[in-house]
Amino acid sequence: MRVAVMTAPGQVHVEDRPEPRIVEPTDAIIRLAATCICGSDLWPYRGVEPVDEPRPMGHEYAGIVEEVGPAVTTVRPDQFVVGSFFASDNTCEICRSGYQSSCVRREAAAPGGAQAERMRVPLADGTLIATPDLPADDLVPSLLAASDVLGTGWFAAVAAAAGPGRTVAVVGDGAVGLLGVLAAQQLGAERIIAMSRHKSRQKLAIEFGATDIVTERGDAGVAAVKDLTDGLGAHSVIEAVGTQESMMQAIHATRPGGRVGYVGVTHNVALPGMELFFSHVHLHGGPAPVRRFLPDLIDRIWTRRIDPGKVFDLELPLDQAPEGYRAMDRRDAIKVLLRP
Amino acid sequence: MRVAVMTAPGQVHVEDRPEPRIVEPTDAIIRLAATCICGSDLWPYRGVEPVDEPRPMGHEYAGIVEEVGPAVTTVRPDQFVVGSFFASDNTCEICRSGYQSSCVRREAAAPGGAQAERMRVPLADGTLIATPDLPADDLVPSLLAASDVLGTGWFAAVAAAAGPGRTVAVVGDGAVGLLGVLAAQQLGAERIIAMSRHKSRQKLAIEFGATDIVTERGDAGVAAVKDLTDGLGAHSVIEAVGTQESMMQAIHATRPGGRVGYVGVTHNVALPGMELFFSHVHLHGGPAPVRRFLPDLIDRIWTRRIDPGKVFDLELPLDQAPEGYRAMDRRDAIKVLLRP
């Protein structure tokens, strides 16, 4: 089968690899209806994370179950399923508390890559959710988005306690940040400030529910958020980038007692203790426990209350994955959907 | 009047200074019944914070109102009052959200020092709480403790969401850590792990409600907490030291999805982004909004449900403040009460 493989920073190609097989009795094999390129795939692409050996890429997936191991009970062949990028048993104490992405049995959900024709998903019962029926074609991008980028934006909004009466600021106008806007809107936030300097992304942020746009970054961006919030800062700030500058921008844009939900993978970040101490913010984030939110997210998509699939502004055949990486790296595309 | 002044690291003496006077119409003048030395006073004493000019010391206080400015309406002369170490208006949006120590009009509550015979307290209405009557002598140490060290331990326990069904670990066996134990017990925590290697402090921790003692520090301390919690870590961890080691010990001792409440002033601390990200903890802390908790704390003390004054294991006349600093610096005393 065909799978996208990264061999070095900037080097992705699509090659033939053996078909995945059931390894553990809790595994499932899925034929992918759609997959995509994640902002986090750009870290190794840009050389920020090492690429020590050829790496099959991708961890976002939606598709049809082809086969399940003998211990799998909640999904069966021919069902359409969506899953999280971390496999979880969904039964341990950590999972039951809603942190499935720190499950005591956590492992990668796509050990052989998800930018592929087929994939093996471990711990299928604790990881996958079947849709009510086979989805209409136009729902597939949104269901795929639930696998990571929507679930991650949603977790950030929940971690930041976005909700009624609250002003939410969003640092980062990638797909996660934009879906953080959507999540904040769905959670009932009163005001949503999207921080973006790109017209097409501003437009999508407004479609998703942003009420204000701030184009400045860093200290100027913080000042602009304070100007919009009586000098106090936002109640809730979603951080969806993961750099030192973006983390400090998020912390400084939050009012004392407010909440930062951070989901950008924090590469080369060191948070200064005294600034954090006197900021008085709540800080919570990490790898999104997408599984916690999946049943609700699938329902919102299925009933067409949300259309997160709009973040895919470029669709390519899987074999053109290298072009997809280039488009996202250059920020020509917000997010690239790949059709196996 | 007499006041303790620090002139350089390790150098404290008691000198005569002018009596405090009403400066703003919102001020009150208090005659101190008792004051004390704070763990945070040891930072400049040990040279970790600079002492650029002679500094009147102390910010913890309880005593009798002698005079109030014309705008003060909620306290009056001859009342016994307790206040927070930060003055606050208690009316701004930040105060109303419970973060009085980040009040938009915040200022030091003891601009002329509180290790003194008398002090001026700004924003008296928003800062001070009067007790129901003049207190019995034996209640005075506990009421004094409410001014900072109890309120700070309480905030840490609340920030860490200590409560029924939860296991709480406490990093730091100073007065704040010990009162964090007491707070966790009062808030209904199921299990309270005190981390201490000092017999006298362990004993007090157990009196305050600790169910387990861990004597190890650093990675060994984390391993011991995990051994006590099915390998998962505590639900709630109180950090009451403020060093890099203690912060990382607190973060690592917390289970994914758990909460760290940190109140040790974080000197020279830099939190590594990736460790924080994958820890999945909630992090909240900063200067305790003692004013939020004062009415409740005073009530618990007044009705003799708690006796936080037990943390004072050395009592000295104000003029012997230098000996008090030496005793706390050497850790011979947990906390020193000074009688003006």
CB contact, 8 Å: B213 with chain A? no
The single-letter code of the amino acid at B304 is: R
Interface confidence (ipTM) of the complex: 0.96
Q: Say which CATH superfamily domain A152-285 falls into.
A: NAD(P)-binding Rossmann-like Domain (3.40.50.720)
Cβ separation A273–B282 shorter than 8 A = no
**CB-CB neighbors (< 8 A) of A257 in chain B:** 94, 97-99, 102
Cβ atoms B1, B117 nearer than 8 A:
yes
CB contact, 8 Å: A247 with chain B? yes
Q: Which of B304, B298, B285 is nearest to B150 (CA)?
A: B298
Site from A266, A268, A279 to mutate, B interface, most B CB atoms within 10 angstroms:
A266
Which band of pLDDT confidence, cut at 50, 70 and 90, is reported for residue A267? confident
Rounded-to-integer distance, Cα B147 and Cα B128, Å: 10
CB contact, 8 Å: B104 with chain A? yes
Q: CA-nearest residue of chain A to B247?
A: A273
CB contact, 8 Å: A51 with chain B? no
The pLDDT value recorded for residue B266 is 86
Cβ separation B232–A104 shorter than 8 A = yes
Domain at A2-148+289-339: CATH code: 3.90.180.10
CA distances from B315 to B10, B85, B151, B228, B320 (A): 20, 21, 21, 37, 10
Which band of pLDDT confidence, cut at 50, 70 and 90, is reported for residue A265? confident
CB contact, 8 Å: A242 with chain B? yes
> Going residue by residue through chain B (340 aa), what tens digit of pLDDT does each one get?
999 999 999 999 999 999 999 999 999 999 999 999 999 999 999 998 999 999 999 999 999 999 999 999 999 999 999 999 999 999 999 999 999 999 999 999 999 999 999 999 999 999 999 999 999 999 999 999 999 999 999 999 999 999 999 999 999 999 999 999 999 999 999 999 999 999 999 999 999 999 999 999 999 999 999 999 999 999 999 999 999 999 999 999 999 999 999 999 888 999 999 999 999 999 999 999 999 999 999 999 999 999 999 999 999 999 999 999 999 999 999 999 999 9
Cβ separation B99–A278 shorter than 8 A = no
Cβ atoms B272, B250 nearer than 8 A:
no
Domain boundaries defined on chain B: 2-148+289-339, 153-285
Site from A49, A93, A236 to mutate, B interface, most B CB atoms within 10 angstroms:
A93
Q: Where are the beta strands (DSSP E) in chain A?
A: 2-8, 11-16, 28-36, 55-56, 61-68, 80-83, 86-87, 107-108, 118-121, 128-130, 167-171, 191-195, 212-214, 234-239, 254-262, 270-272, 282-285, 312-317, 335-339
CB contact, 8 Å: B266 with chain A? yes
CB contact, 8 Å: B54 with chain A? no
How does DSSP classify residue A281?
Answer: -
Tokens of A211: 């009420």
CB contact, 8 Å: A97 with chain B? yes
The pLDDT value recorded for residue B265 is 87
**CB-CB neighbors (< 8 A) of B248 in chain A:** none
Q: CA-nearest residue of chain B to A231?
A: B104
CA distances from A196 to A51, A74, A310 (A): 30, 42, 17
Tokens of A240: 């969806």
Starting at the earlier edge strand, list the strands of the sheet with B167-171. A212-214, A191-195, A167-171, A234-239, A254-262, A282-285, B282-285, B254-262, B234-239, B167-171, B191-195, B212-214
Contacts of A191 (CB under 8 A, 6+ apart): A166, A167, A168, A211, A212, A228
CB contact, 8 Å: B251 with chain A? no
- Give me the helices (H) in chain A, please: 42-45, 93-96, 124-127, 140-146, 149-159, 175-186, 199-208, 218-227, 244-252, 273-279, 290-302, 321-329
pLDDT at A160 over 90: yes
How close, in Å, is residue A101 to chain B by CA atoms? Answer: 9
- Give me the helices (H) in A14-168, please: 42-45, 93-96, 124-127, 140-146, 149-159
Site from A269, A275, A281, A292 to mutate, B interface, most B CB atoms within 10 angstroms:
A269
Cβ separation B273–A266 shorter than 8 A = yes
Tell me the fold of B153-285.
Rossmann fold (3.40.50)
Q: CA-nearest residue of chain B to A262?
A: B277
Q: Which of A242, A240, A195 is nearest to A335 (CA)?
A: A240
Beta A234-239 vs A167-171: how paired, if at all? Answer: parallel
Tokens of A281: 């913010």
CB contact, 8 Å: A272 with chain B? yes
Rounded-to-integer distance, Cα B163 and Cα B180, Å: 12
CB contact, 8 Å: B86 with chain A? no
**CB-CB neighbors (< 8 A) of B232 in chain A:** 93-94, 104
Tokens of A41: 């795939």
Q: CA-nearest residue of chain A to B160?
A: A282
CB contact, 8 Å: B101 with chain A? yes
Cβ separation B269–A274 shorter than 8 A = yes
Q: CA-nearest residue of chain A to B263?
A: A277
Q: CA-nearest residue of chain A to B281?
A: A284
Residue B209, burial from CB neighbour count under 10 angstroms (0-12, 13-18, 19+) = middle
> Mean pLDDT, to the nearest integer, of A230-243?
97
Nearest to B286 among A272, A280, A284 (CB): A280
Cβ separation B280–A101 shorter than 8 A = yes
How close, in Å, is residue B132 to chain A by CA atoms? Answer: 30
A59-94 pLDDT per residue, tens = 999 999 999 999 999 999 999 999 999 999 999 999
The pLDDT value recorded for residue A266 is 86
- The three-class DSSP label of residue B255 is strand
Nearest to A99 among B98, B276, B280 (CB): B280
The answer for B331, left when phi > 0, alpha when psi is -120 to 50, beta otherwise, is: left
CA angle A204, A207, A213 (to 5 degrees): 70
CB contact, 8 Å: A266 with chain B? yes
CB contact, 8 Å: A48 with chain B? no
Cβ separation B265–A272 shorter than 8 A = no
The pLDDT value recorded for residue A216 is 96
Cβ separation B270–A270 shorter than 8 A = yes
CB contact, 8 Å: B40 with chain A? no
**CB-CB neighbors (< 8 A) of B285 in chain A:** 277
CB contact, 8 Å: A256 with chain B? yes
How close, in Å, is residue B278 to chain A by CA atoms? Answer: 6
CB contact, 8 Å: B262 with chain A? yes
**CB-CB neighbors (< 8 A) of A272 in chain B:** 269-270
